[in-house]
Structure formats: C-alpha cells, structure tokens
Amino acid sequence: MEFFIDLISTVFPYIKAAFLAIIPLGFLIFIHELGHFYAAKRCGIKVSTFSIGFGPKLIGFQRDETTYKISLLPFGGYVQMEGENPSEQTGAPGEFASASVGSRAFVVAAGPFVNLLFGILVYWLVFATGLNTDAARLIGGLTGLPLGEQESVQIGWVAEDGPGAIGGLMPGDILLSVNGESIRHWYTFQTRVYTSANKELELVVERDGVPQTVYVRPNAVPSVRGDIGELQVSSSTATMVSQIRAGSPAAEAGLQVGDVIERINGERLHNVPYFGYGVWHPSADWIDEKYESLYNNINENDEALRLSVRRGDEIFTLEMPVEWRVIAAVQEEGIAENAGIQDGDVLLTLNGETVNETTLYSQLIAANQPIEIELMRQGSLEQVTLSGETESSETDPKHIMFGLIWQTSLSGLQLDAKEPPLPEYGIFAAFEKGVEATWLTFTAIGRTLQQLIGGDVSPKHLAGPVGIATATSNMFNRLGLSSVIFFIGFISINLAIVNLLPIPIADGGQLLFCAVEKLRGKPMPRKAQEIVQQVTIVLMIAFFLYVTWFDGLSVIDNLRN
C-alpha cells in the first residue's frame, strides 16, 4: 500500500503539470476553430458539428443543422463543415465547396487570423500590465527584443582553449551579427550557436570601437536530440553588490548596496564572481575554472582585497581584508535539512577540522560517519550530525552529497548580476510594443523555417505538442504569470504562421487551392485534391511522430536528471 501511495505522490505532480500545460494549448486550438465556425456561419456554409474537445460526446444539443457538443478530451475542438472533404462533396447549396472562392478563403483564413489577433492582444496585455525580470528574459529569448537599457550583446569570459577563443573571440567583444543576421539579444546568438554544431559561423564584433570579422566553429556536444553547438563563451554581466553583512570587512570599508564592482585586484570582471558548491564539484566546467582562477588571485594577497567600484558616475578603489565564509543551502527533504541544517547557516568545522570551501566536497566523501558539523546560526554555535548517505556520489559526478550545497561569501559581500531597469508602458505604447514583438516573432519563425529548408537547422531541435506542453509546464512551475501568458501568446502566433504554410491539409494549403482555382477559373480536379491531401497526411503524421519522438527523449532525460 505504501508503494502505491509513494507512486501516486510521485506521478501526480507530472499529471497536474501536464493538464496545466495542455489546457492552454487546447484553448488556442479551440479559438482557432471558433474563427472558422464564425466565418462559415457568416458565409452561409452549413456546419454539421461544432465540438469543444475531442472524442466521445459528453453533452450536446442540436440547433438548425449544427450539433453543438462537449467531448471527453477538453484539449481544443473542431468544426465540421458540410462538403469540406473532397470525397463528401455533392455540389448542394450550403456546402463548403459550393461557396464562392472569396467566401472559402475567408473561412479558411479566419482561424489563423483569430490566433494572430489573440497573440497580439496577449502581447499587449503583458506589456501594459508590467514586466518582471523573468518575463523580460523570456520575451528577449523568444523574439530577440531587447528591453530596458540593454544597448549591446557583449561577450564575457572565454575559455582559453575553447572554439570561441580559437576563432578569435575575446572578452568584451560586442556582437553585431551572425552570418549577416543582426544580433540584439544574447539568447538569439545562443540559439544560433546551439543549432550550429561543427558549422562555421561568421561573426562581426566590435572591439575597441572597430568592427572586426571572426570565424568560429562550435564544438559538437552529444544530446538526446543529436549534437548541439557549444562555443564556451559567456554573456557579459555587470556585478552589483546586492547585500552586505553588518560588521563585515565590506561594511567597514564603506561599500554600499547597489555599488557596481568592475575589477577585483586589477582583474576586469566579465561575469559575477561565484565561489560556491559548483566551482569545486567534480563535474566543474570551463567557466568554473575561471572562478577558481579568480579565487586564487584573491588569495594571493589575503590582507588587501582591492575593488574598483562604480557608484553612479563616480569610480574609486576600496581595500579590505579577505574573509571567507561558507554559507549553507539545503535541498528540500534532503539529509542535511532533516539533520537540522538551514539555509544561511555558516559552516565552521567538519569532524573537528576547519571547513575548507575548496575541498568540502571531497571532505564529505572521505569523512567517517556519522559526520559532526559545527555551524553558526545568527551568532549562536550549533552542532548537527549527518549520516545515511549512499555511495552514489562516487559514481555519479552530478550527485549532491547529503542534499547540501554552499556558497562562499567574500568579505561579507553578496554579489549578483546588475539587471537593467525594466521599462513601463502606457496603454498605447504597450500596444506598439506588442505589435513590434509580433513582427519579431514572425521574422524569428521565418528565419527558422529558412534554416530548416536550407539544412542549417535540424528538425530534431523543433518542439511538437509534447515539447510545447513541457515548456509551458516548466513556466507554470518556475516563472511568473506574465511569462506564462506571453508564452501562450507566442504559441498562438506560431499556430497562425504554421497554419498559413502552403501545406495541403493546413489552412495555407487550402488558400493555395483557392488561389489556383481563381487563376484557372475552375477548381482543381477532386481526385487530385484527394491524392495530394492523402499524401500530405501521411507525411505530416510521420513528421509529427519524428518530432514527438525527440520530445519524448528530452522529457525522459529531464526526469532522469
């Protein structure tokens, strides 16, 4: 019985997430079909069925020639018009095929138009009600639209032996374009690299005010979706003092919250210093080596930490002693939390030995159990005991020992990325911004389609319904409501564009048939329409299964990790 209770408690969050994700997608399909329904009624075309959802009917009623019903699966809906399929056409009045070319084109275009209109309204709503940091990042990542005072896309740290450095990229370079495409947001560049494993990219950068061209070839990193590109470069971020411990060396030196740290001991900062758990973990990567190097630089003279500080328009230098404190953070329901360790505790000793932030991970692995940890909490000394950890840490490099991670505080400072101020829009400016974001969504999707056709991007990287549902679910769990709403608007515009592609079974294909009929003066032969649609259905099903397969692999991989 306990096994089934644990199974249900484990699976239920995923079922809940799936419903939260699928229902918005179903709503977008529903309003798409509602557009077709309204247009058909306006044009005198008989609609035999209008269904909310799919599958067996739950409830319904008949009015005139239309059956209105709610079906079992509430994920979208459909409209069935008389004479819509070539095999069902009789030439009777009120059939879809019997309507004029203009009326049929209006009915076909109404679905994508509603999705496009809904997307614009959603974008308008998000900009009008105010942005948070997560929403601003999401909007920039999906559309390439820079928000706030972000003026450039700048390279931060560069791995010394990575493909970025080999190609000639340097810290501080400002990205202007990739393969002739203007770059306005870091995530646009990141996506281009991601989909360009082992493919040469032409980058135009600005260095010391002079444009230069460099050629880079991203490394191929295996993933469940095939190889993905990696340049081993980071985005430059300004480092801001977000918190100062009372009585710390930083407080006594006169630092203030909001100060921007530009250099440490003369070394230019391109990314926020981090000296926590991940830097000393066995799975540490190239950027962690940069943090280690900065850590060693600081320890070369632990009596005089020299900071170059910008406060408003003023730039000055402060000096202070180096003081390290290991600050604990615990995983929920982990061994460390159950033993009594709390977020913010200062770790002092481990089995009587002074805690060393650089070797704490190996200390935990090698320590005899039970492990006695002395810590300080709000000025009081506490003792906790850890035990029960398995040996999985020796075989899994990503394993977190005892559910315990840590951050190392430098001289009482807490440093974070300085975020640009978020803009505020009035009702009309928000609409203008929404239209701009819609246009950028169109152009971004257009570039992706062009790259797919040209073979620059593999269809393995596309997301189908499963991938979209997973992304929506993640946003419900991790990001704010405005981010989720914007993403739904983004998917709505995607649906509009995809449905307008000249694919026979899509709305765009039907519009193409209407255009051909207008030019020929008569419709395409019914048999030809049937053959084209049948072939297209087979190809679309195969493509759907192909994309869904890789979506499923990604979901399984995420669950494992």
Check: CATH 2.30.42.10 for 151-237?
yes
What amino acid is encoded at 219 in this protein? N
pLDDT at 17: 57
Mean pLDDT on 102-106: 90
Name the residue among 142, 230, 201, 161 with its Cα closest to residue 472: 142
Question: Can you list the pairs that 171-179 forms with residues at least 24 positions away whose Cβ atoms lie under 8 Å?
Answer: 171/236, 171/268, 171/270, 172/207, 172/236, 172/268, 172/270, 173/205, 173/206, 173/207, 174/205, 174/206, 174/207, 175/203, 175/204, 175/205, 176/204, 176/205, 176/206, 176/211, 177/203, 177/204, 178/202, 178/203
Task: Give me 262's structure tokens.
Answer: 């530009």
CB 315 within 8 A of CB 262: yes
- Does the pLDDT at position 15 exceed 70? no
Mean pLDDT on 87-96: 75
pLDDT at 541: 79
Which of 169-178, 358-367, 396-405, 460-469 has the highest average model confidence (pLDDT)? 169-178
Question: Can you list the pairs that 311-318 forms with residues at least 24 positions away whose Cβ atoms lie under 8 Å?
Answer: 311/256, 311/258, 311/259, 311/260, 315/262, 318/253, 318/254, 318/255
* 2 confidence band (pLDDT: 50, 70, 90): very low
State yes or no: is 33 an active-site residue. Answer: yes
- Cα–Cα distances in angstroms (integers) from residue 481 to residues 139, 484, 493, in the given order: 13, 5, 19
Helix axes 101-129, 481-499, angle to 10 degrees: 160
| DSSP 8-state class, residue 278 | G
Mean pLDDT on 254-261: 94
pLDDT at 35: 93
Among residues 33, 82, 337, 389, the one annotated as catalytic is: 33
CA gap 501, 504 in Å, rounded: 9
- Does the pLDDT at position 147 exceed 50? yes
- Does the pLDDT at position 547 exceed 60? yes
Mean pLDDT on 42-66: 85
Provide the CATH topology of domain 247-413. Pdz3 Domain (2.30.42)
CA gap 29, 31 in Å, rounded: 6
- Supply the mean pLDDT for the chain: 84
- Does the pLDDT at position 444 exceed 90? no
pLDDT at 216: 96
Mean pLDDT on 39-65: 86
Within the chain, all domains assigned CATH 2.30.42.10 are found at 151-237, 247-413
The per-residue pLDDT for range 359-404, each reduced to its tens digit, is 888 888 887 788 899 999 988 998 999 887 655 444 455 567 888 8
- Does the pLDDT at position 303 exceed 90? no
- Does the pLDDT at position 100 exceed 60? yes
pLDDT at 11: 47
DSSP-based helix, strand, coil % in the chain, nearest 5? 45, 25, 30
What's the pTM?
0.76
Mean pLDDT on 292-309: 88
Which of 6-15, 392-401, 420-429 has the highest average model confidence (pLDDT)? 420-429
Residue whose token pair is 């444009």: 211
